[in-house]
Amino acid sequence: MASSLTTFTDEARIALDTLSGRAAGLFSPSLRLGVTGLSRAGKTVFISALVHNLIHGGRLPLFEAQKSGRIARAFLEEQPDDAVPRFQYEDHVAALVNDRVWPGSTRAISELRLTIEYESASGWNRLFSAGRLSVDIVDYPGEWLLDLPLLGKSFADFSREAVELAALSVRSDLSQAWRELASTINPDADADEMIARRLAESFAAYLKACKLDERALSTLPPGRFLMPGDLEGSPALTFAPLMTLAQGRPRSGSLHAMMERRYEAYKAHVVKPFFREHITRLDRQIVLIDAMQALNAGPAAMADLERAVTEILSCFRPGRGNFLTDFFSRRIDRILV
Protein backbone atom coordinates (compact mmCIF):
# COMPACT_ATOMS: atom_id res chain seq x y z
CA MET A 1 0.00 0.00 0.00
CA ALA A 2 2.89 2.34 0.70
CA SER A 3 3.40 3.18 -2.98
CA SER A 4 -0.19 4.45 -3.27
CA LEU A 5 0.31 6.84 -0.36
CA THR A 6 2.74 9.09 -2.22
CA THR A 7 3.03 11.05 -5.46
CA PHE A 8 6.09 11.30 -7.70
CA THR A 9 6.96 14.63 -6.05
CA ASP A 10 6.74 13.04 -2.60
CA GLU A 11 9.06 10.23 -3.68
CA ALA A 12 11.59 12.74 -5.06
CA ARG A 13 11.64 14.64 -1.76
CA ILE A 14 11.97 11.39 0.19
CA ALA A 15 14.90 10.35 -2.02
CA LEU A 16 16.70 13.67 -1.41
CA ASP A 17 16.13 13.45 2.35
CA THR A 18 17.38 9.85 2.39
CA LEU A 19 20.49 10.70 0.37
CA SER A 20 21.34 13.52 2.77
CA GLY A 21 20.87 11.25 5.78
CA ARG A 22 22.93 8.44 4.27
CA ALA A 23 25.80 10.83 3.50
CA ALA A 24 25.92 11.95 7.14
CA GLY A 25 25.77 8.32 8.30
CA LEU A 26 28.95 7.38 6.43
CA PHE A 27 31.02 9.03 9.18
CA SER A 28 28.67 8.45 12.12
CA PRO A 29 26.68 5.20 11.72
CA SER A 30 23.14 5.47 13.04
CA LEU A 31 19.90 3.50 12.99
CA ARG A 32 16.41 4.92 13.37
CA LEU A 33 14.13 2.73 15.48
CA GLY A 34 10.44 3.58 15.47
CA VAL A 35 8.36 2.60 18.49
CA THR A 36 4.60 2.88 18.29
CA GLY A 37 1.50 1.17 19.56
CA LEU A 38 -2.16 1.64 20.15
CA SER A 39 -3.51 3.38 23.23
CA ARG A 40 -2.33 1.98 26.59
CA ALA A 41 0.08 -0.50 24.98
CA GLY A 42 2.98 0.70 27.19
CA LYS A 43 5.27 2.53 24.75
CA THR A 44 6.65 5.00 27.29
CA VAL A 45 7.47 2.34 29.88
CA PHE A 46 8.95 0.03 27.23
CA ILE A 47 11.34 2.68 25.88
CA SER A 48 12.32 3.87 29.36
CA ALA A 49 13.02 0.30 30.51
CA LEU A 50 14.99 -0.56 27.36
CA VAL A 51 17.21 2.52 27.61
CA HIS A 52 17.66 2.12 31.37
CA ASN A 53 18.79 -1.51 31.04
CA LEU A 54 21.26 -0.73 28.27
CA ILE A 55 22.79 2.24 30.08
CA HIS A 56 23.06 0.46 33.43
CA GLY A 57 24.04 -2.98 32.15
CA GLY A 58 20.81 -4.84 32.82
CA ARG A 59 20.77 -8.60 32.30
CA LEU A 60 18.68 -8.72 29.08
CA PRO A 61 19.23 -12.51 28.65
CA LEU A 62 17.67 -12.60 25.17
CA PHE A 63 19.90 -9.80 23.80
CA GLU A 64 22.91 -11.82 22.62
CA ALA A 65 25.34 -8.89 22.40
CA GLN A 66 24.63 -7.92 26.02
CA LYS A 67 24.55 -11.52 27.25
CA SER A 68 27.94 -12.33 25.73
CA GLY A 69 29.56 -9.16 27.09
CA ARG A 70 30.19 -7.49 23.72
CA ILE A 71 28.47 -4.24 24.77
CA ALA A 72 31.22 -1.98 26.18
CA ARG A 73 28.90 0.84 27.20
CA ALA A 74 25.73 2.68 26.20
CA PHE A 75 25.07 6.35 26.83
CA LEU A 76 22.72 9.15 25.81
CA GLU A 77 23.78 11.82 23.33
CA GLU A 78 22.22 14.95 21.93
CA GLN A 79 19.59 14.01 19.36
CA PRO A 80 20.12 15.06 15.72
CA ASP A 81 16.65 16.52 15.04
CA ASP A 82 16.39 19.90 16.77
CA ALA A 83 12.75 20.39 15.73
CA VAL A 84 11.54 17.14 17.37
CA PRO A 85 10.81 17.10 21.14
CA ARG A 86 13.16 14.97 23.22
CA PHE A 87 11.83 11.80 24.83
CA GLN A 88 12.13 12.71 28.50
CA TYR A 89 13.71 9.47 29.65
CA GLU A 90 14.95 10.86 32.98
CA ASP A 91 11.50 12.17 33.95
CA HIS A 92 9.81 8.87 33.11
CA VAL A 93 12.33 6.82 35.12
CA ALA A 94 11.95 9.19 38.08
CA ALA A 95 8.16 8.81 37.91
CA LEU A 96 8.44 5.02 37.90
CA VAL A 97 11.24 4.57 40.46
CA ASN A 98 10.81 7.48 42.84
CA ASP A 99 7.16 8.49 42.61
CA ARG A 100 5.78 5.02 41.85
CA VAL A 101 3.39 6.41 39.23
CA TRP A 102 2.78 5.36 35.65
CA PRO A 103 4.11 7.88 33.07
CA GLY A 104 1.57 9.72 30.93
CA SER A 105 0.61 8.34 27.53
CA THR A 106 2.33 9.32 24.29
CA ARG A 107 0.60 12.41 22.89
CA ALA A 108 3.12 13.59 20.30
CA ILE A 109 6.26 12.48 18.53
CA SER A 110 9.53 12.47 20.50
CA GLU A 111 13.05 11.21 19.98
CA LEU A 112 16.09 10.03 21.96
CA ARG A 113 19.61 9.16 20.76
CA LEU A 114 21.28 6.21 22.48
CA THR A 115 24.86 5.49 21.41
CA ILE A 116 26.24 1.98 21.90
CA GLU A 117 29.92 1.04 21.84
CA TYR A 118 30.38 -2.66 21.20
CA GLU A 119 32.75 -5.38 20.11
CA SER A 120 31.88 -6.85 16.73
CA ALA A 121 30.89 -10.51 16.55
CA SER A 122 33.19 -10.77 13.52
CA GLY A 123 36.85 -11.42 14.30
CA TRP A 124 37.82 -9.66 11.06
CA ASN A 125 35.99 -6.46 12.06
CA ARG A 126 37.52 -6.54 15.56
CA LEU A 127 40.99 -6.22 14.00
CA PHE A 128 40.26 -2.70 12.79
CA SER A 129 38.22 -0.90 15.43
CA ALA A 130 35.57 -1.18 18.09
CA GLY A 131 32.02 -0.76 16.85
CA ARG A 132 29.93 2.32 17.56
CA LEU A 133 26.28 2.77 16.64
CA SER A 134 23.86 5.58 17.43
CA VAL A 135 20.26 4.40 17.80
CA ASP A 136 17.70 7.16 17.32
CA ILE A 137 14.55 5.97 19.09
CA VAL A 138 11.47 7.65 17.63
CA ASP A 139 8.34 7.42 19.77
CA TYR A 140 5.00 8.35 18.19
CA PRO A 141 1.29 7.67 18.84
CA GLY A 142 -0.20 4.70 17.05
CA GLU A 143 -3.33 6.79 16.44
CA TRP A 144 -1.28 8.95 14.07
CA LEU A 145 -0.08 5.88 12.22
CA LEU A 146 -3.69 4.84 11.59
CA ASP A 147 -4.08 8.07 9.60
CA LEU A 148 -1.64 6.94 6.91
CA PRO A 149 -4.15 4.74 5.02
CA LEU A 150 -6.22 7.92 4.53
CA LEU A 151 -3.62 9.08 1.99
CA GLY A 152 -4.90 6.42 -0.40
CA LYS A 153 -8.60 7.09 0.25
CA SER A 154 -10.96 9.71 -1.13
CA PHE A 155 -13.40 11.57 1.10
CA ALA A 156 -16.17 9.32 -0.21
CA ASP A 157 -14.14 6.21 0.76
CA PHE A 158 -13.44 7.65 4.20
CA SER A 159 -17.11 8.53 4.75
CA ARG A 160 -18.38 5.13 3.65
CA GLU A 161 -15.93 3.21 5.86
CA ALA A 162 -16.57 5.46 8.87
CA VAL A 163 -20.34 5.02 8.58
CA GLU A 164 -19.99 1.24 8.24
CA LEU A 165 -17.73 1.02 11.30
CA ALA A 166 -20.00 3.26 13.38
CA ALA A 167 -22.98 1.03 12.63
CA LEU A 168 -21.32 -2.15 13.95
CA SER A 169 -22.98 -3.56 17.05
CA VAL A 170 -19.85 -3.03 19.15
CA ARG A 171 -19.88 0.69 18.30
CA SER A 172 -23.51 1.57 17.64
CA ASP A 173 -24.30 2.86 21.13
CA LEU A 174 -21.14 4.97 21.24
CA SER A 175 -21.78 6.45 17.80
CA GLN A 176 -25.53 6.97 18.16
CA ALA A 177 -25.42 10.71 18.86
CA TRP A 178 -23.18 11.38 15.85
CA ARG A 179 -25.18 9.12 13.53
CA GLU A 180 -28.45 10.78 14.54
CA LEU A 181 -26.99 14.22 13.88
CA ALA A 182 -25.37 13.19 10.59
CA SER A 183 -28.62 11.64 9.33
CA THR A 184 -30.31 15.07 9.49
CA ILE A 185 -27.64 16.77 7.35
CA ASN A 186 -28.07 17.43 3.63
CA PRO A 187 -24.57 17.27 2.06
CA ASP A 188 -25.74 19.37 -0.90
CA ALA A 189 -26.90 22.24 1.34
CA ASP A 190 -24.87 25.43 1.46
CA ALA A 191 -21.68 25.22 3.50
CA ASP A 192 -22.26 26.30 7.09
CA GLU A 193 -19.40 26.70 9.55
CA MET A 194 -21.53 25.99 12.62
CA ILE A 195 -22.94 22.78 11.12
CA ALA A 196 -19.42 21.66 10.20
CA ARG A 197 -18.28 22.37 13.75
CA ARG A 198 -21.19 20.46 15.32
CA LEU A 199 -20.53 17.45 13.09
CA ALA A 200 -16.77 17.48 13.78
CA GLU A 201 -17.26 17.79 17.56
CA SER A 202 -19.85 15.02 17.61
CA PHE A 203 -17.67 12.70 15.51
CA ALA A 204 -14.61 13.44 17.69
CA ALA A 205 -16.65 12.71 20.84
CA TYR A 206 -17.64 9.33 19.39
CA LEU A 207 -13.98 8.48 18.62
CA LYS A 208 -12.88 9.51 22.12
CA ALA A 209 -15.66 7.39 23.65
CA CYS A 210 -14.37 4.39 21.68
CA LYS A 211 -10.84 4.97 22.93
CA LEU A 212 -11.86 5.28 26.59
CA ASP A 213 -14.41 2.48 26.56
CA GLU A 214 -13.60 -0.89 28.12
CA ARG A 215 -14.30 -2.55 24.75
CA ALA A 216 -10.76 -1.58 23.70
CA LEU A 217 -11.60 -0.39 20.18
CA SER A 218 -8.55 0.41 18.05
CA THR A 219 -9.51 1.62 14.55
CA LEU A 220 -10.14 5.32 15.24
CA PRO A 221 -8.93 7.63 12.45
CA PRO A 222 -8.46 10.55 12.08
CA GLY A 223 -5.87 10.34 14.86
CA ARG A 224 -5.57 14.08 15.43
CA PHE A 225 -9.23 14.16 16.44
CA LEU A 226 -8.05 12.30 19.55
CA MET A 227 -4.82 14.31 19.97
CA PRO A 228 -5.31 17.66 18.20
CA GLY A 229 -2.42 19.54 19.83
CA ASP A 230 -1.92 23.01 18.32
CA LEU A 231 -4.34 22.14 15.48
CA GLU A 232 -7.39 22.21 17.77
CA GLY A 233 -10.13 24.36 16.25
CA SER A 234 -8.40 24.69 12.86
CA PRO A 235 -10.38 24.10 9.64
CA ALA A 236 -8.16 21.08 8.91
CA LEU A 237 -9.75 19.38 11.93
CA THR A 238 -13.27 20.75 11.46
CA PHE A 239 -14.68 18.06 9.19
CA ALA A 240 -16.50 14.75 9.56
CA PRO A 241 -17.77 11.90 7.38
CA LEU A 242 -21.12 12.45 5.69
CA MET A 243 -23.88 9.84 5.60
CA THR A 244 -25.11 10.05 2.01
CA LEU A 245 -23.01 11.41 -0.83
CA ALA A 246 -24.08 11.92 -4.43
CA GLN A 247 -21.94 10.49 -7.22
CA GLY A 248 -19.51 12.79 -8.96
CA ARG A 249 -18.03 16.11 -7.92
CA PRO A 250 -19.84 18.00 -5.15
CA ARG A 251 -21.54 21.30 -5.90
CA SER A 252 -19.26 24.28 -5.35
CA GLY A 253 -20.11 26.02 -2.09
CA SER A 254 -21.91 22.99 -0.65
CA LEU A 255 -21.30 21.38 2.73
CA HIS A 256 -20.03 18.30 0.87
CA ALA A 257 -17.45 20.43 -0.97
CA MET A 258 -16.34 22.07 2.28
CA MET A 259 -15.90 18.75 4.08
CA GLU A 260 -14.04 17.20 1.16
CA ARG A 261 -11.68 20.20 0.90
CA ARG A 262 -10.89 20.07 4.62
CA TYR A 263 -10.35 16.32 4.52
CA GLU A 264 -7.82 16.80 1.71
CA ALA A 265 -6.19 19.64 3.71
CA TYR A 266 -5.86 17.28 6.69
CA LYS A 267 -4.10 14.75 4.49
CA ALA A 268 -1.83 17.36 2.89
CA HIS A 269 -0.85 19.36 5.99
CA VAL A 270 -1.02 16.77 8.79
CA VAL A 271 -0.74 13.21 7.50
CA LYS A 272 1.63 13.54 4.55
CA PRO A 273 4.37 15.51 6.39
CA PHE A 274 4.31 12.95 9.21
CA PHE A 275 4.72 10.12 6.68
CA ARG A 276 7.49 11.86 4.73
CA GLU A 277 9.47 13.29 7.64
CA HIS A 278 9.28 10.35 10.04
CA ILE A 279 7.88 7.06 8.74
CA THR A 280 9.97 6.96 5.55
CA ARG A 281 13.17 7.57 7.58
CA LEU A 282 12.84 4.49 9.79
CA ASP A 283 15.18 1.48 9.59
CA ARG A 284 13.49 -0.73 12.21
CA GLN A 285 10.02 -0.69 13.77
CA ILE A 286 8.51 -1.98 17.01
CA VAL A 287 4.70 -2.09 17.30
CA LEU A 288 3.30 -2.65 20.80
CA ILE A 289 -0.21 -4.08 21.21
CA ASP A 290 -2.26 -4.74 24.33
CA ALA A 291 -3.68 -8.05 23.13
CA MET A 292 -4.99 -9.05 26.56
CA GLN A 293 -7.32 -6.08 26.76
CA ALA A 294 -8.85 -6.92 23.39
CA LEU A 295 -9.14 -10.60 24.32
CA ASN A 296 -10.94 -9.71 27.53
CA ALA A 297 -13.29 -7.41 25.61
CA GLY A 298 -14.44 -10.20 23.29
CA PRO A 299 -14.56 -11.15 19.58
CA ALA A 300 -15.69 -7.73 18.32
CA ALA A 301 -12.73 -5.99 19.99
CA MET A 302 -10.36 -8.63 18.59
CA ALA A 303 -11.75 -8.10 15.07
CA ASP A 304 -11.29 -4.35 15.49
CA LEU A 305 -7.70 -4.86 16.70
CA GLU A 306 -7.00 -7.12 13.72
CA ARG A 307 -8.30 -4.41 11.38
CA ALA A 308 -6.12 -1.78 13.06
CA VAL A 309 -2.95 -3.91 12.97
CA THR A 310 -3.53 -4.81 9.31
CA GLU A 311 -3.82 -1.13 8.40
CA ILE A 312 -0.75 -0.23 10.50
CA LEU A 313 1.47 -2.86 8.89
CA SER A 314 0.33 -1.88 5.39
CA CYS A 315 1.75 1.63 5.93
CA PHE A 316 5.38 0.61 6.42
CA ARG A 317 7.93 0.11 3.68
CA PRO A 318 9.26 -3.35 4.56
CA GLY A 319 11.98 -5.27 2.75
CA ARG A 320 15.65 -5.11 2.00
CA GLY A 321 17.27 -2.90 -0.61
CA ASN A 322 20.77 -3.07 -2.07
CA PHE A 323 23.86 -0.88 -1.78
CA LEU A 324 22.70 1.55 -4.49
CA THR A 325 18.97 1.82 -3.76
CA ASP A 326 19.57 2.26 -0.01
CA PHE A 327 21.13 5.65 -0.73
CA PHE A 328 17.82 6.94 -2.07
CA SER A 329 15.11 4.91 -0.31
CA ARG A 330 15.01 3.55 3.24
CA ARG A 331 13.31 0.25 3.92
CA ILE A 332 12.21 -1.14 7.27
CA ASP A 333 13.97 -4.49 7.16
CA ARG A 334 12.71 -5.70 10.55
CA ILE A 335 9.33 -5.20 12.23
CA LEU A 336 8.70 -6.54 15.73
CA VAL A 337 5.08 -6.81 16.93
pLDDT digit string, tens, across residues 21-71: 545 545 568 999 999 887 778 899 999 999 999 999 888 888 888 888 889
Same domain, 175 and 241: yes
Among 273, 293, 326, the domain boundary falls at 273
Overall number of domains in the chain: 2
Residue 326, pLDDT score? 47
Q: Does residue 107 form part of some domain? A: yes
Look at residues 117, 105, 115, 113 and name the one whose alpha carbon lies nearest to residue 137: 113
Among 221, 248, 273, the domain boundary falls at 273
Q: Does residue 278 form part of some domain? A: no
Residue 7, pLDDT score? 63
Burial class (CB within 10 angstroms; exposed 0-12, middle 13-18, buried 19+) of 122: exposed
Same domain, 329 and 226: no
Residue 220, pLDDT score? 85
Same domain, 176 and 206: yes
Same domain, 65 and 154: no
Same domain, 155 and 232: yes
Residue 309, pLDDT score? 86
Q: Does residue 243 form part of some domain? A: yes
312/78: higher pLDDT: 78
Host domain of residue 290:
26-140+283-336
Q: Each residue of 214-256: pLDDT tens digit?
A: 777 888 899 889 888 778 888 999 999 999 888 889 999 999 9
Q: Each residue of 86-125: pLDDT tens digit?
A: 999 999 999 998 988 988 777 789 999 999 998 876 655 5
Percent of the chain's residues with pLDDT above 70: 84
Same domain, 157 and 269: yes
Same domain, 101 and 120: yes
Q: Does residue 208 form part of some domain? A: yes
Residue 321 Cα to chain centre, angstroms: 23
The H or E element spanning position 71 is strand 71-77
Look at residues 304, 287, 164 and name the one whose alpha carbon lies nearest to residue 220: 304
Residue 146, pLDDT score? 85
* Residues 6 or more apart whose Cβ sits within 8 Å of residue 182: 163, 199, 202, 203, 240, 241, 242, 243
Same domain, 34 and 136: yes
